Amino acid sequence: METQDQAPLYCSNCEQPVLLTNRFCPTCGTSQNQRELVDDSKKWSQLQGLALFFILEIVTCLSTLFVAHPTIQTDIFFGVLMAIISVLFFSSDWKNNKHLLKWPGFSFVKLLTFIILAIIGSLMVQVIAWYLNQHVFHEEFFDFPLYQSHPFGTYIMIVSIAVFPALFEELAYRGYLLQKLLNIVDRKEAMYITSILFFLIHFSLFSFFWLLPFALLLAYIRIKENTIWYGILIHFVFNLTACLVDIIYS
């Protein structure tokens, strides 16, 4: 940055020297933020793209809630559908998104810390959710019975609850959505919006106490580390822990 500040600046229009503090060129009067203005005129159409993405997500997620008799087949079908939507939108802006698939500054210690925290966090959420279900809603809820009948039920359940959501939700929310929003609003707002939309798409109002902080943390790590891999692994470990608790206790 320092070298940039010290380098002589020239007007984007007449190429006469301008100072960094000059908002307009003193020679030709051209505004010195032309490039930003061009970016700004694209923002509304970019936001419409995001709206399309989110409406598709809502429709798909809602459909899963209203399947009368959920089976392993319907579960896999919706899992694959969500994966296709995520991959399509992520690759729609491949040029700006591909850097997220790299893993700069890989740190084993960091990864291990995140994984341990994810396991602890997941167990805590499980206990609180179990307590709420028992004492407030008076019902118990397990996912495993759906998969139990199948010979490979356990594996299918792990793929459908831990692997798929971790990979494709991260690709869609912390990948596509967050990257686009960073062009439209400032960094903090982008973090807040992705986290709130991520929470809304789960259609679980009472989960706000852990879903929102979880999403905010993932978004923060994604922006700080500039990769979605930490997020994918944290999300995977978090869901896997929940999945294993479900299998053991049901």
Partner 1 sequence: MENINYCNCCAVKYEAMDAFCNACGFPLQGTKQEQDFYISERNVKEIELIDLDEKVERARRSLYWISGLTLFSLVFVVFKPSPDEDVSFLVITTLILSTAFLGLAVWGKTRTSTALISGLSLYLIIHILNAILDPRTILSGIIVKVVIIVYLVKGIKSVIEREKIKKELNLI
Chain positions contacting partner 1, by CB under 8 A: 18-19, 21-31, 33, 36-37, 40-41, 43-44, 47, 54, 58, 62, 66, 137, 184-185, 188-189, 192-193, 196-197, 200, 203, 205
Among candidates 121, 131, 141, which has minimal Cα distance to 210?
A: 121
As beta bridge partners, residue 9 has 18
| Least distance from partner 1 to the Cβ atom of residue 23, Å | 4
Beta carbon nearer to partner 1, 139 or 248: 139
| Least distance from partner 1 to the Cβ atom of residue 197, Å | 6
Beta carbon nearer to partner 1, 109 or 136: 136
Helix %, strand %, coil % for the chain, to 5?
A: 75, 0, 25
Among candidates 100, 94, 92, which has minimal Cα distance to 223?
A: 100
Beta carbon nearer to partner 1, 54 or 144: 54
Beta carbon nearer to partner 1, 195 or 227: 195
Cα separation, 43 vs 45, in Å, equals 6
Virtual CA dihedral for 73, 164, 80, 99, nearest 10 degrees?
Answer: -170
Place of tokens 């399947």: 67
CA angle 144, 216, 112 (to 5 degrees): 70
| Least distance from partner 1 to the Cβ atom of residue 107, Å | 31
Cα separation, 58 vs 200, in Å, equals 9
| Least distance from partner 1 to the Cβ atom of residue 6, Å | 19
Beta carbon nearer to partner 1, 21 or 149: 21
Beta carbon nearer to partner 1, 123 or 193: 193
| Least distance from partner 1 to the Cβ atom of residue 47, Å | 7
**Sign of the torsion angle spanned by Cα atoms 49, 50, 55, 61:** positive
Return the structure tokens found at 62: 């809602």
| Least distance from partner 1 to the Cβ atom of residue 101, Å | 26
